[in-house]
């Protein structure tokens, strides 16, 4: 048979050695590995896509001297301050609501943010009040945001804090940091998410008819007996402006100071609500004139 040549080559392919077949078992294993690789990639994308939670930098610890001073304020100073009338809207006293228990003890729940000036002020009152019922570890130090009203309030942060008490459980979360972020949806980086218990209380009680408005920081719930929300902390954060944490702590020895009256007056009311939840324990705190003044101001037994 004649053949046609192009550029001096024959268009017929010369016979070569027979091709080897790839074993079906090898094809199957390659297919399985490929599928597993795709699944792993999809899982990684699913887990990481859209999250705004970041690993925060290490929190600067609060001075041991400041923590000790704030958590060991003498009873005589609490008693001398008493409980002033709160500025509107003030704290909200609840009735007929189910008690909140965490770990078998009445719970104090805090949801806040480091940028928030009202959170910054309320933390002082909470630390002073809870220091009468237990002990803190790893309290951090921060300031409220410089771009918010009442900028640069010196304060503690509860991010990474632990609290131990025989009488009450303290559950706290700082949802957002204190430095503005152009990429964060809320304008500040997300730090933590509330637990299901914290979220349920926030959705239920951080809104009307319990408090004015909806979803404002801070949110504090003492055993569903007392709720503090936003500007309802009862005093102005402005009393803390221009002071360092050491100056604020030192002021707490003097009951006539304006910041002392604001912080310890709020702490006496928080203490009164905690005492109502613990059945009046410890008696040394719950029968003190300062706490009794707080209970009277709130209308608690």
pLDDT at position 163, please?
A: 98
pLDDT at position 88, please?
A: 75
Q: Binning pLDDT at 50, 70 and 90, where does residue 138 land?
A: very high
Question: How many of the other CB atoms lie within 10 Å of CB of 269?
Answer: 31
Measured over the CA atoms of residue 133, residue 171, residue 275 and residue 91, the dihedral's sign is positive
Least confident of 15-19, 71-75, 83-87, 104-108: 15-19
Question: How many of the other CB atoms lie within 10 Å of CB of 235?
Answer: 23
Q: Binning pLDDT at 50, 70 and 90, where does residue 43 land?
A: very low
Instruction: Write out the two tokens for 280.
Output: 């009046």
Task: Provide the mean pLDDT of the chain.
Answer: 85
Reply yes or no on whether the pLDDT at 32 is more than 90. Answer: no
Model confidence pTM above 0.85 = no
Cβ atoms of 290 and 82 closer than 8 Å: yes
């Amino acid at each position: 048979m004649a053949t046609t040549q192009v550029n001096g080559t024959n268009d017929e392919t010369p016979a070569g050695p027979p091709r080897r077949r790839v074993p079906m078992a090898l094809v199957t294993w390659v297919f399985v590995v490929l599928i597993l690789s795709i699944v792993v990639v999809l899982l990684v994308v699913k887990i990481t896509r859209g999250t705004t939670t970041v690993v925060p930098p290490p929190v600067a610890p609060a001075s041991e001297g400041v923590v000790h001073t704030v958590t060991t304020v003498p009873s005589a100073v609490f008693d001398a301050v008493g409980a002033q009338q709160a500025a509107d809207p003030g704290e909200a006293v609840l009735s007929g609501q189910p008690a909140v228990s965490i770990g078998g003890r009445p719970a104090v729940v805090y949801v806040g943010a480091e940028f928030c000036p009202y959170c910054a002020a309320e933390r002082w009152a909470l630390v002073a009040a809870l220091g009468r019922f237990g002990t803190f570890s790893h309290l951090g130090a921060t300031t409220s945001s410089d771009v918010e009203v009442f900028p640069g309030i010196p304060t503690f942060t509860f991010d990474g804090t632990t609290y131990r008490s025989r009488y009450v459980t303290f559950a706290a979360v700082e949802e957002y940091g204190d430095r503005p972020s152009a990429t964060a949806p809320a304008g500040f980086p997300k730090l933590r998410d509330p637990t299901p218990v914290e979220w349920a209380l926030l959705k239920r009680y951080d809104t009307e008819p319990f408090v004015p408005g909806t979803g404002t920081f801070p949110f504090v719930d003492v055993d569903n007996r007392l709720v503090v929300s936003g500007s309802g902390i009862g005093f102005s954060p402005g009393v803390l402006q221009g002071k360092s944490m050491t100056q604020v702590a030192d002021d707490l020895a003097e009951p006539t100071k304006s910041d002392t009256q604001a912080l310890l007056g709020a702490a006496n009311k928080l203490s009164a609500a905690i005492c109502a939840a613990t059945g009046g324990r410890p008696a040394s705190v719950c029968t003190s004139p300062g706490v009794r003044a707080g209970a009277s101001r709130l209308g608690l037994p």
